Amino acid sequence: MKATRTSQAPTVPPTGETAGETAGATAVEPRLNVFGRLESWLLDGKRAKYGTSILRILLGASVVAIVATNFMDRKYIWGTASGWAQPYRDDSIWNFWLFKYFSAGDPDPLLVGKLVLLAVFGLLMVIGWRTRIVTVVTLLMFISLAALGPTSSDSADNALRIMLIYSAFTDGSQRWSLDARRRRIRIERMSTGKRRRSSVTSVVPRWFGNIVHNLAVVAIGGQVIIIYLVAGLAKARGTLWRDGTAIYYPMHAENFSPWPQLNHLLVANDLMVHLISWGSVAIQVLFPLLLLNRWTRRLAVLGLIAMHAGIGIFLGLSVFSLSMVAADVIFVRDSTLESIGRWFRARGGGRRRRPGPHDARPGETGHHSEGERHGQGSHNLTPGRDFVDVTNEDPAAPA
């Protein structure tokens, strides 16, 4: 039985693959029509497990980076030396009790304590501890912080906030998380009779968790497409982008030049200026089309990651770049990331956990393989569902 082919980017399964591959159907299942495949994609397992996990890790890292990099200037931006911003705070769209974790009246020790707590929550996201609730709390704390600096917020905050909202609806703990490790240990204990099955009964039915997770994955994908399309089309109207010299200008602006010499070196070459300028617009405008084919999708994601790496390094917009890269990765199939992981393991001989009694291998029947999930659709509300969302991944092991 195919075990992992269903985990993929939030696109409709490409027509170039068989329904069995894309929908995780088994040899005994009938071929599904388009609606059936969509329904199966939505209901029969969680998609983009690696993508949502990477999203969780990078969003958490972004929150930590915001706290760390602004800590020295905290008083002026958010704290005891920021009272001049009060006219803006009075009219803030965030004046709501839910977003009042940070307050303009906080004395500095309290602000420090709250910032440290926010960074701790960011770290908890990175390590995947109680992921869902930690993500929601981090979101509320972050919004509150951004609202406190009305002239200190930009598109980076928009990207981070929106991705945190969608991320809260995903199960981003499927890979590389303490939650996954805890679930694996539970399974192992249950298998050795040290723990009763009922103790891990889920609050909501598995199918509901799958729907919410998968729709959130689609929402993230959709939001990313919208961002690139809007940004690309807006640039396409600009004369400097059209004549291919646009990137030269911010590279020479002081406020976008953490490393001016490096910037000047990069845009000293005519060809490079035009390639970067036209390439930036092209990849954004064409992004939705590039998603339609596996190879162009990989090219697009790699291109966008490279673009954001450049924006982060050369223009100093690191947090924005990190948030966008986090969202871009949602378009990489789990199978691709697993292949990359296998390649790295083969090349580097990385540590690998010995397979446990509950590890399913491709081609074998395991209680958490996608194929078997399909076969157990009618068991949704039985104790057997407790096994389904368990990940036996070693969080310390590479993908």
Partner 1 sequence: MKKRPVVVRLVGAALTLLLLWQGLATVSYLSGSTQLANIAGKGTINAYMTPLFKQYWSVFAPDPIQADTELLIRAKVNGSDTDWFNISRADVQRSILHHPVPSRLYLTNFALTSHYQVSAELLPPGLQSVPKKSFVGADWLDQLKKDLQDGGSAKDAAAINQFTKDETAMTSMVSSVALARWGEAVTAVQIKIRTIPVKPYAERNNADYQVKPAEFDAGWRGIVRVPEIDLAAITAMYGTEAAAHEGN
Among positions 131-190, residues that touch partner 1 (CB under 8 A) are 149, 151-155, 158, 161-162, 165
Segment 50 to 79, residues that bind partner 1, using CB under 8 A: 65, 68-70, 72-73, 75-77, 79
By CB under 8 A, residue 207 contacts partner 1: yes
By CB under 8 A, residue 382 contacts partner 1: no
* Closest by Cα among 164, 136, 140, 156 to 55: 164
Q: Identify whether the C-beta of residue 44 lies closer than 8 Å to the C-beta of residue 3.
A: no
CA 82, CA 73: separation in Å to the nearest integer?
A: 10
Minimum CB separation from partner 1 for residue 171, in Å? 15
Q: Which CB atom, from 164 or from 337, has the smaller least distance to partner 1?
A: 164
Q: Which residue has the tokens 């005891």?
A: 80
CB atoms under 10 Å from CB of 81, counted, come to 12
By CB under 8 A, residue 377 contacts partner 1: yes
By CB under 8 A, residue 247 contacts partner 1: yes
Backbone angles phi, psi at 391, to 5 degrees: -110, 130
Q: Which of 110, 133, 230, 275 binds partner 1 (CB under 8 A)?
A: 230
Which stretch, 181-189, 210-218, 329-337, 353-361, contacts partner 1 (CB under 8 A)? 210-218
Q: Which CB atom, from 93 or from 346, has the smaller least distance to partner 1?
A: 93
Minimum CB separation from partner 1 for residue 86, in Å? 7
By CB under 8 A, residue 292 contacts partner 1: no
Minimum CB separation from partner 1 for residue 121, in Å? 19
Which stretch, 208-216, 285-293, 302-310, 359-367, contacts partner 1 (CB under 8 A)? 208-216
CA 56, CA 41: separation in Å to the nearest integer?
A: 22
By CB under 8 A, residue 202 contacts partner 1: no
Question: Residue 93: is it exposed, middle or buried by C-beta count within 10 angstroms (0-12/13-18/19+)?
Answer: exposed
Pair of tokens at residue 6: 């269903």
How many residues bind partner 1 (CB under 8 A)? The answer is: 84
Q: Which of 16, 17, 18, 33 binds partner 1 (CB under 8 A)?
A: 33
Provide the mask over 251-290, with x wherever binding to partner 1 is found by CB under 8 A and - wherever it is not. -xxxxxxxxx------------x-----------------
Q: Which of 27, 28, 87, 198 binds partner 1 (CB under 8 A)?
A: 87
By CB under 8 A, residue 376 contacts partner 1: no
Segment 335 to 374, residues that bind partner 1, using CB under 8 A: 374
Minimum CB separation from partner 1 for residue 290, in Å? 18
Minimum CB separation from partner 1 for residue 287, in Å? 13
Q: Which CB atom, from 192 or from 239, has the smaller least distance to partner 1?
A: 239
Minimum CB separation from partner 1 for residue 196, in Å? 27
Provide the mask over 96-135, with x wherever binding to partner 1 is found by CB under 8 A and - wherever it is not. ------------x---------------------------
CB under 8 Å to 331, separation ≥6 — which residues? 9, 10, 11, 51, 221, 224, 291, 297, 300, 301
Q: Which amino acid is at 118?
A: L
CA 151, CA 157: separation in Å to the nearest integer?
A: 12
By CB under 8 A, residue 83 contacts partner 1: yes
Minimum CB separation from partner 1 for residue 162, in Å? 6
Backbone angles phi, psi at 7, to 5 degrees: -80, 115
